[in-house]
């Protein structure tokens, strides 16, 4: 009887999630993680090519440092949501491990809400700065690459992390009971 009630409770819980909410978030995280991984591969290829050309032909690639900086935006902000989905971010939980489950859920909810506020501010400022860079036609110094798309990537990555954190708050609130 108890297991039957738990099965029905689990079914009700998944029905409340809506059609594929968590699956869509996981897919979004995977796509952004793939972009992040490709950025990292490009950084490695660029660095290797620059080093080889510098040693062999005494002619480094122009703008390697600049391109590496911009690719790092993809690497960092692309991986945020994926890492959060898989609980890969660094947490210090040795204090909360000894607290009751309900208190742990409250602490988790507060931490996730603070994260949502922080990354909402990051997304907002990235979007605002990106718009300013677009309107002023700001480009990079060496190669003349427009700056605004990279700020918007930061905003997108921050919004994706906020979505994951919202789901984590919802899950933590369910554990309050």
- Cβ within 8 Å of residue 101, ≥6 positions away: 175
Instruction: Dig out the tokens for 84 from the structure.
Output: 């959060």
Q: 168 with 43: CB under 8 angstroms?
A: no
Q: 119 with 108: CB under 8 angstroms?
A: no
Q: What is the pLDDT of residue 137?
A: 95
Model confidence at 12: pLDDT above 60: no
d(CA 110, CA 125): 23
% of the chain beyond a pLDDT of 70 = 88
Mean pLDDT throughout 61-70? Answer: 93
pLDDT in tens, 45-64: 999 999 999 999 988 889 99
Model confidence at 101: pLDDT above 90: no
pLDDT in tens, 117-171: 999 999 999 999 999 999 999 999 999 999 999 999 999 999 999 999 999 998 8
Whole-model pTM above 0.75? yes
């Amino acid at each position: 009887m108890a297991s039957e009630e738990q099965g029905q409770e689990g079914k009700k819980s998944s029905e409340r999630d809506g059609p594929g909410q968590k699956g869509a978030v996981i897919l979004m995280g995977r796509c952004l993680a793939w972009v992040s991984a490709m950025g990292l591969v490009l950084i490695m290829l660029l660095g290797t090519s620059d080093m080889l050309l510098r040693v062999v032909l005494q002619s480094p690639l122009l703008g390697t440092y600049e391109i590496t900086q911009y690719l790092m935006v993809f690497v960092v902000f692309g991986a945020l949501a994926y890492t959060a989905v898989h609980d890969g971010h660094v947490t210090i939980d040795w204090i909360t491990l000894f607290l009751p489950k309900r208190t742990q859920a409250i602490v988790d909810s507060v931490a996730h809400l603070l994260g949502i506020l922080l990354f909402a501010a990051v997304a907002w400022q990235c979007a605002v700065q990106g718009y300013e860079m677009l309107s002023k036609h700001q480009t990079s110094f060496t190669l003349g690459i427009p700056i605004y798309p990279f700020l918007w990537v930061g905003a997108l990555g921050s919004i994706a992390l906020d979505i994951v954190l919202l789901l984590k708050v919802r899950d933590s609130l369910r554990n309050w009971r």
